[in-house]
Amino acid sequence: MRIDGSVFREYDIRGIWNKNIDADFCIGLGEAFAKYLKSKTGKKKLKISVGYDARLSSKEICDAVCFGLNCSGIDVVDIGLVATPVQYFSLFKLNLDGGIMITASHNPPQYNGFKLSVGKETLYGSQILEIRDIMFNLNKTDDCTKKTGKIDKYDILKEYEEYMVESFAHLKKAKKKPAVVLDAGNGAGGIAGFSIMKKLGYDVKGIFIEPDGNFPNHHPDPTVEENLKDLKAILKNNGYDIGIGYDGDADRIGVVLKNEEILYGDQLLLLFAEDIIKKNKQAKIIGEVKCSEVLYSGIEKSGGIGIMYKAGHSLIKSKMKEENALLAGEMSGHIFFADRYFGYDDAIYASLRLLEIITMENIDLIDWKNSLPKKFNTPEIRIDCPDSKKLEVVEKIIDRLKAQNSLDIKDINTIDGIRFSTNDGWGLVRASNTQPSLVLRFEAGSKERLSFLKEQTIDIVKKIIDNKL
């Protein structure tokens, strides 16, 4: 069994099929996860759910990982082709000890991977590295000769749809509903999302709804504007009110307004936060370090408590539980509802909460977005930096920025890299969790100030990387 350590990442296991993930790797992962589950639960007989996305390799991977699990005495509930949040849903609705979701989210078609859960909690960081170490130490005598676990198929998707329709049944009675365009990007969530919206009485036009692991129409990542062209074209010419996009495994959402403007992740989070705070004063809302200051000031103005935390969906979920927060989100479109839901990221559920707000509040999202304080910001900027050097560079940047009087720094937050505030904006430099690079983002009240913050900071970063500072 070949094991490429680079596929074990901060939040999941992910690589290229038949390059650094193959059938033997999958069998070994099943055996290693079985050992891990037994050590953490203290149970000898265990049952987990396994689901997979639309990628061409997903079914073969599922068969191989289930073989490894069965060889180790683990019973499997095969829930078939589903979105990641549907697999998470199975953890809350069935009597299970954990689960595996086979997906590479929005990566290109040749990629695939695994999101692992013990109980109802997804693994990340050192927990994933522990799985890696178990795999490295599997003995040849661990090779499977007799399967002692079994596989049962279960239609959790039907149960998921019924749950959603029941949860939002009040929307059926609404006299006026927005007309929706849903772009699933040929990922795993389109069929469920489209079906639920239709059952709730919405006029919904589905595009690229059928799962297709080749992703023939566009890359399944709705946070990249290039991938929203089809949504925008239909909104422009056909009189629909809102455009919604899902990524490949439907745990991230993208939203386009009828004037073709994008409602960004932190803006969407603020919209949800305002709605929740109306009924839950002093509600805690968690955002990540890349989110706009408009989010945090908006939460405070609404009567809530905004908490800035590290980027990363597993880290956010963990922080939500710690703080007993009702809502959390990231710029990348991961939205987590503990209010009326289970606390995990689900683009289908988020899209229904969005439609609920528009329908019940009769809100014009264009007017709502235009009412927000005007800020100028950059997208994520990535600067190449070796993994071995990333954290060292960030540490040096802290000292250099403090000495850079021209930036007029008022405050420095080091919860995830360094986010510094000035009299009219902020900047962020953090080490990427998934790539050999630094991630930067900037925001200011004017284009001129934005350019100044960006140029000054990037100059410092590059000089430190090149050992010139």
Strands (E), 247-316: 253-257, 262-263, 284-288, 305-309
Q: Which of 176, 246, 170, 166 is nearest to 211 (CA)?
A: 246
Work out the angle at residue 67's Cα, subtended by the Cα atoms of residues 62 and 71, and round it to the nearest 5 degrees.
150
For 221, the 3-state DSSP assignment is coil
CB 274 within 8 A of CB 296: no
CA distances from 420 to 354, 377, 393, 411, 413 (A): 32, 14, 16, 6, 6
Buried b (16+ CB within 10 A) or exposed e, 159-169: bbbebbbebbe
Rounded to whole angstroms, the Cα distance separating 91 from 58 reads 20
The two tokens of residue 62 are: 């599922």
- Residue ranges of alpha helices (H) inside 137-248 are 156-167, 190-199, 229-238
CB 141 within 8 A of CB 176: no
For 56, the 3-state DSSP assignment is coil
Rounded to whole angstroms, the Cα distance separating 290 from 332 reads 10
Looking at 57, 105, 302, 332, which residue is catalytic? 105
Active site residue 105: yes
Q: Which residues are catalytic?
A: 105
